[in-house]
Every structure is written in C-alpha cells, then in structure tokens.
Chain A
Amino acid sequence: MSSQTMSTADGGAATSPVDRFERHRAELQRGRQRATLVYGALFLAALAGSVYISNFFPDRLAAGAPKVGDYLYDILPVLSAEHLFAGTKTEGSIAYWYFNLPKYLQLLLETVNMALFATILGTFGGFLMCFPASRNLMPNSWIYFGFRRVMEFCRAVPEVIFAILFVWAVGIGPLAGVAAIAIHSTGALGKLFSEVNENVDHKPMDGIRSAGGTWFDEIRFGVVPQVLPNFVSYALLRFEINIRASSIIGFVGAGGIGQELYYVINFNFYEEVSALVLLIVATVTCVDLLSARVRHRFIGKEHLA
C-alpha cells in the first residue's frame, strides 16, 4: 500500500510538497499507533497474566495489608525514654533490646569473614579464568568458548542454590556458604575481568613477544600491570555484594548471621528480628562506604553499575 501512495505522489505533479509531507507524516503516525497498540496489548496481557498467577487481587491485598502492618509494628522494639540506657534486665532499654549482642557480633564477624574469604577465593578463580576467556588473548577459540561457558554457568546459578548443594555435601556451616559464594564470584568476576582484558593496550604484549617472551610472559608483564587496578576495584565491588550474600546465605544453613535471622523470624522473637535486621543493614552500609573510598583511590571516581 505504501508503494502505491509513493508512486502517485511521485507521478502526480499536482501534489505539492506540503501534501507529500502531510501524507508521509500520517503514514508514520499510523505506524506508531499500530506499534503502540501491539506493545500495549502485549503489556496488558503480561500484566493480566502476572496478576492472575501471583494472586495479586485487591481482596487478598486488603486482607494482607493490616497483617503486614501488625508484623512491622510487632518487631519494633519497646523503648521507653526513662529506661533507655538502663541495663540488660530493664524492659525498654537499648541493652534489653540488644541483649544478645555478643552472639550477634560473633556471627557478624563470621559473616564478614565468609564474605572476605570467598571474595579472595573468587578473585583468584576469576583471575585464573579470565585470560583464556578473553577474545584478544586466547587464539584458540575452543578453549575460549569452554572457559566462557563455565564462567557463565558459575554466575548464572544463584549462590543460594549452590549453598543448598554444598550444605548437603559438606554439612551445615560456613564452609558451604564460602564455597557457594566463591564459585558465584568466580563466574561474575571472571566475566568482568575478561572484559577489562579485552580493552587492554596491545603494544606492551607485542614488545614482550618480540623479545622472545612466551604467552605467560605476555600475560604476566604485558597485561597484568595494565589491568590490575581495575581488577582490584571490581574485587572490592564484589566484596560489597558478597557481604549481602553471606548475610542471607544462612537461610539454607550455610553459616553466618542469616541462620540466626531465619531462626528468630520463624520463631517470632519479634524484637530480635528488628535488632538483627538493623545490625545487618548498618554493617552492609558501613562496608559499602568504606569500600567505595578504597575503590576511588585505586581507579579514581568512576561509574560502576
């Protein structure tokens, strides 16, 4: 149809440029309207489907909303102004709210340790895997392909799934969590590292090759010095993510403070829920701020998604 209108527009000398412009505009507008209609229908279908399948109905929401409010009210600590700084025995004091603090701190330390340990292991893993998985450094496309797929698998499977597996294999405790987070980090960091490698300057490598260096020499002296600051920055970013992961991975029994949180939520120790959640949020925020500082020292202010 459009070719027909085009031919008459070209053939008829009587049509002014304004008419031609108007006709073209109308055509574009029709096309846009059609697209809007199609995408709108798709969107509405997706919306209806998801509302139906997830029971997101007004009556259920109305029934649930007060319960959510009640729950959030229940976990709030009972604090009274006159006893605020009293000892652990007085109800209404901060010390009463956080009576279990020594235990929490110990678990928090374990959580941070797990995250750091797993980040170091994951960084090593990613470091070893990223060079064969870089297009420009690996001439053999089979090895490249293999390493890419392995890393993809490692980062696509969520940590918690790995953790369930490892809890079964090595038993309940932080070892399972560390292994799960380390494997996930290996995949995620390996991908980021190899992307850094692919943007590397090739001149130092050429120089080393011309001096008789092997592939390993090229990597060691030609690539690593260029990419190391970026690697460190990505590893720190991963550490921030891993702190979050290690604080919840205890839900499936893989160690850390999540195990305690899971316990107090399921047994309705209301005040302890808020105490623990606040502690976790505070820790995560502190680590974020600290690591952002260190990162900026390594590669300056940057924008890492």
Chain B
Amino acid sequence: MSATVATMTESEMAALRARFPQVLSVDLRRIWLQRAIVAGVVGYLAFCCWVFEITFERLFGGLGKMWIVLRSMLVWKDMASWDYLGILQGLAETLGMAFLGTLVASLFAVVIGFAAARNVMPNRILHHLLRRFLDLLRGVDTLIWALVFVRAVGLGPLAGVLSIMVSDTGTLSKLYSEAVENVDRRPIEGVRSTGAGRLKTYRFGYLPQVLPVFLSTSLYWFESNTRSATILGIVGAGGIGMQLSERMKVQYWDQACFIILLILVTVGLIDTASKWIRMNIIGTRTL
C-alpha cells in the first residue's frame, strides 16, 4: 500500500472507508457542535468586552500606567529609610493570625466535627442543622468576616484571628466530620466489647484513627491561611496586608514590591516546613 491520498482512486478510497469506518468517517454533528461552542465563547467574550467597557484606549492606557508601576517597582530608592521593623512586625502578625486562627478553629472543630458526623450523631435533624450552619460559616468569605470583626472589635490582628477562626471552624468541622464518618468500625467494636464507656470509646476507638487526618488537614489549612491572612490587612484586620495596602495607596511601589517578595518567600518557607512536618511527624504524604 504505497499509494498516498492524492494518487488513490475513488474505489480504493471507498474500500478503505468501508474497512476503517471509525477512522475515516467525519462526524458532522461533532464538528458543528465544536464550531457552535467556539462561536459561543467568542460571542460571550465580545459581549463581556462591551458590558465591562473594555476598549483599546483603556487597555493601552492601563498598560502604559502598568509600565510606570513596573519600572518604579524594580528601582528601589532610599532603602535605608524603609520601615523594616513595621514590615517584619506585620509579617509576624500575619503568621500569628494564621497560626492562632487555625489552632482555635481546630479545637472547635474536634468537638463540632464529632457532633456533625452521621455515625456519632444519630439525630438526623440535628445533624442536618449543624451541617447547614457550618455551610453558612464556610460560605461567607474570610475577608467578609474580617470586615465584620473589624466593626466589632476594632482595627488590628485580633479581628484577623477571629475571622480566620470562624470561617475555618466551618471548613475544618466539615472535613473532620467526614474523617469521623470514614472511620473503621472494627476497632470501635473492639473497644466497646471490653466494656468501655462512651468517652473511652471516643478516646481509644475513634481518636487514634482520625487524629493523623485531623492534624494533616489542619496543617494544610494553616498553609492556606498564611496566604489568605496576607490580604486581611486590606480591610484593617492587621498583618502584612495593612503595610502593603498603605504603601500601595501612596504609590510607594518599590516598597510594595519588596513586601510582595517577602510574602512570597515566607509562604514558600511555610509550605516547605509544613511538607516536612507532614512527612516526618504525622507520617502521611497525602492531605
């Protein structure tokens, strides 16, 4: 079969088509569907450009301004006069907020997580109510909680801790309760068969199974919270975000760039540290 498509006769083509129907047939419906999807996406993008008033003038004007920002970000002036102590304190606040928020949320979540697990809480209605309540805590973004707590307890890192705590109580309780629901029944039956009470069953039947999952989940959320805590300062809830947004407001782009780099390095270090802890202390590789 040395013939190419160009030199083949009609009958040869027809024979080949009959032999390999799946390879050589053209599914017209599929092609039209693809075209329709592409047209739909392009149309939607055009519509969005119109709705959001995206014009070439604005884009190019914006690019011009971005160029100015980029240039002043890369040229660092008067480095001696920068407030390094304030920046470092902001960074420490951010880490402290994330740590404390995750820790307190984990403590709450141990209790609520058990209560919201279907195999521990036999009452269906109570289980459902608890789950919906957790959904509500989780559904409201940390930044919104931060704004609310700033109104309640004033500016500063305490509002940040509380906001992380509340929204993470929702998330961690849900994840913990799922871990409790996935528990192996046999050790629990074993503990119960020795005549252990309710509390002892939880301590020796459930806890050894779920504790590694709890710990590594919390660690993962601590990691994630150090990222989200960096922006809480924008609404006044303390931390490095406050330092950053203040400098961006007065257009100290070089200092802003320094802070952003500092955040990136810190987050990277936290990631590495928590990966190490997860592998060496908790002994699990997965989340």
Contact = CB atoms under 8 A, between A and B. Distances in A.
Contacts of A50: 95-97, 99-100
Interface string A30-46: 00000000010000001
Nearest to B157: A54
A60 B231 contact: no
Interface stretch (A10-18, A157-165, A205-213): A157-165
A67 B152 contact: yes
A168 B63 CA distance: 11
A47 B103 contact: yes
A198 B129 CA distance: 43
Interface in B125-171: 135-136, 139-141, 143-144, 147-149, 151-154, 156-158, 160-162
B287 A305 contact: yes
A6 interface: no
Nearest to B227: A158
Given A71-B148, A160-B231, A178-B52, A49 B248 contact: no
Contacts, number: 154
Q: How large is the interface on B (under 10, 10 to 19, 20 to 34, 35 or more residues)?
A: 35 or more
Contacts of B238: 54
Contact of A170 (B45, B58, B139, B151): B58
Given A157-B264, A165-B248, A261-B144, A173 B160 contact: no
A71 B143 contact: no
Contact of B139 (A49, A64, A169, A281): A281
B153 A251 contact: no
Contact of B160 (A54, A117, A265): A54
Interface string A208-251: 00000000000000000000000000000000000010011001
A31 B54 CA distance: 64
Interface string B247-287: 01001000000001001100110000000000001000001
B190 interface: no
B74 interface: no
Interface string A245-272: 0011001100100000110010010000
Interface residues of A, number: 60
B235 interface: yes
Nearest to B89: A53
Given A158-B231, A248-B144, A164 B281 contact: no
Interface of A: 39, 46-47, 49-56, 60-61, 63-64, 67-68, 70-72, 110, 113-114, 116-117, 120, 153, 156-158, 160-161, 164-166, 168-171, 173-175, 178, 244, 247-248, 251-252, 255, 261-262, 265, 268, 273, 277, 280-281, 284-285, 305
Given A60-B158, A161-B231, A280-B139, 7 more contacts: A54-B161, A120-B45, A160-B143, A170-B65, A171-B58, A281-B136, A281-B140
